[in-house]
Amino acid sequence: MIIEADKQNQLFLATPIGLLKFCNKPNYPNMEFPAQLKYTEEHEWIRLEDNNIAFVGITDFAQSELDELVYIEVETVGETLGQNDVFGTVEAVKTTSDLFMPVSGKILEFNPKLDENEGDDPTTVNQDPYGDGWIVKIELTKPEEVSELMDADAYRALVG
Amino acid sequence: MKETPLTATHIALGARMAGFAGYNMPISYAGINPEHQAVREKAGMFDVSHMGEFIVRGKEALDLIQYVTTNDASKLEIGQAQYSCLPNNDGGIIDDLLIYRLAEDNCSEGERAYMLVVNAANIEKDWEWINQHNQFDTKLINISDQTGLLAVQGPLAAKVLQPLTKTDLDALAYYTFTKGTLAGVENVLISATGYTGSGGFELYADAEKTPQLWQAIMESGKELGLQPAGLGARDTLRLEMGMCLYGNDIDDNTSPLEAGLSWITKMNKPNFLSKDIFAKQKEEGVSRRLVGFTLNERRVPRHGYTIENESGQSIGTVTSGTQSPTLGYPIGLGYVEKPFHKQGTNIFIVAGKKRLAATVSRPPFLRKD
Best residue of B25, B244, B322 to probe chain A, by most A CBs closer than 10 Å: B322
Of B11, B27, B325, the CB nearest to A13: B27
**B247 touching A (Cβ < 8 Å):** yes
Give the C-alpha separation, B353 to B89, whole Å.
39
In sequence order, which ranges of B115-206 are alpha helices (DSSP H)? 123-132, 157-161
Contact B300 A23 (CB under 8 A): no
ipTM: 0.83
Beta strands in A42-151 (DSSP E): 44-48, 53-58, 69-73, 80-81, 86-92, 96-100, 105-110, 136-140
pLDDT band at A139 (very low <50, low <70, confident <90, very high): very high
Contact B31 A65 (CB under 8 A): no
Of B14, B24, B232, the CB nearest to A94: B232
pLDDT at A82: 97
**B237 touching A (Cβ < 8 Å):** no
Contact A68 B16 (CB under 8 A): no
Of A22, A67, A116, the CB nearest to B298: A116
Chain A residues whose C-beta is within 8 A of a chain B C-beta are 5-13, 18-19, 22-24, 26-27, 65, 67-68, 70-71, 73, 89, 91-94, 96, 116
pLDDT of A90 strictly over 60: yes
Q: Could you tell me which residues come within 8 angstroms of residue B230 by beta carbon, excluding any fewer than 6 positions away?
A: B10, B15, B16, B25, B26, B27, B28, B29, B32, B35, B46
CA distance A79 to chain B (A): 17
More confident residue, A105 or A4: A105
Q: With the C-alpha atoms ordered B62, B63, B69, B71, is the resulting torsion angle positive or negative? A: positive
Contact A70 B246 (CB under 8 A): no
Contact B232 A18 (CB under 8 A): no
pLDDT at B368: 61
More confident residue, A12 or A52: A52
The half-sphere exposure of A96 on its side-chain side, counting CA atoms within 13 A, is: 21
Q: Could you tell me which residues come within 8 angstroms of residue B186 by beta carbon, excluding any fewer than 6 positions away?
A: none
Best residue of A6, A23, A100 to probe chain B, by most B CBs closer than 10 Å: A23
Residue pair B135/B58 in contact (Cβ under 8 Å)? The answer is no
DSSP structural state of residue B250 = B
Beta-carbon count within 10 A of A146 CB: 15
Give the C-alpha separation, B274 to B252, whole Å.
12
pLDDT at A19: 38
**B123 touching A (Cβ < 8 Å):** no
DSSP structural state of residue B312 = S
Average pLDDT over residues A52-76: 94
pLDDT at A28: 53
pLDDT at A32: 83
Residue pair B273/B88 in contact (Cβ under 8 Å)? The answer is yes
pLDDT band at A16 (very low <50, low <70, confident <90, very high): very low
The full length of chain A comes to 160
Domains along chain B with CATH numbers: 1-241+269-285 (3.30.1360.120), 287-369 (2.40.30.110)
DSSP structural state of residue B193 = -
Q: What angle do CA B160, B163, B168 make, to 5 degrees?
A: 95
Contacts of B356 in chain A (CB under 8 A): none
**B303 touching A (Cβ < 8 Å):** yes
Cα nearest neighbour of B317 on chain A: A8
pLDDT at B324: 95
Contact A7 B304 (CB under 8 A): yes
pLDDT band at A24 (very low <50, low <70, confident <90, very high): very low
CA distance A18 to chain B (A): 8
For chain A, the first-to-last Cα distance in angstroms comes to: 17
pLDDT at A6: 35
pLDDT at A29: 54
* pLDDT tens track, chain B, 369 positions: 999 999 999 999 999 999 999 999 999 999 999 999 999 999 999 999 999 999 999 999 999 999 999 999 999 999 999 999 999 999 999 999 999 999 998 889 999 999 999 999 999 999 999 999 999 999 999 999 999 999 999 999 999 999 999 999 999 999 999 999 999 999 999 999 999 999 999 999 999 999 999 999 999 999 999 999 999 999 999 999 999 999 999 999 999 999 999 999 999 999 999 999 999 999 999 999 999 999 988 999 999 999 999 999 999 999 999 999 999 999 999 999 999 999 999 999 999 889 999 999 999 999 865
Of B16, B31, B235, the CB nearest to A12: B235
Contact A19 B18 (CB under 8 A): yes
pLDDT at B369: 52
Interface contacts (A, B; CB < 8 Å): 92
pLDDT band at A31 (very low <50, low <70, confident <90, very high): confident
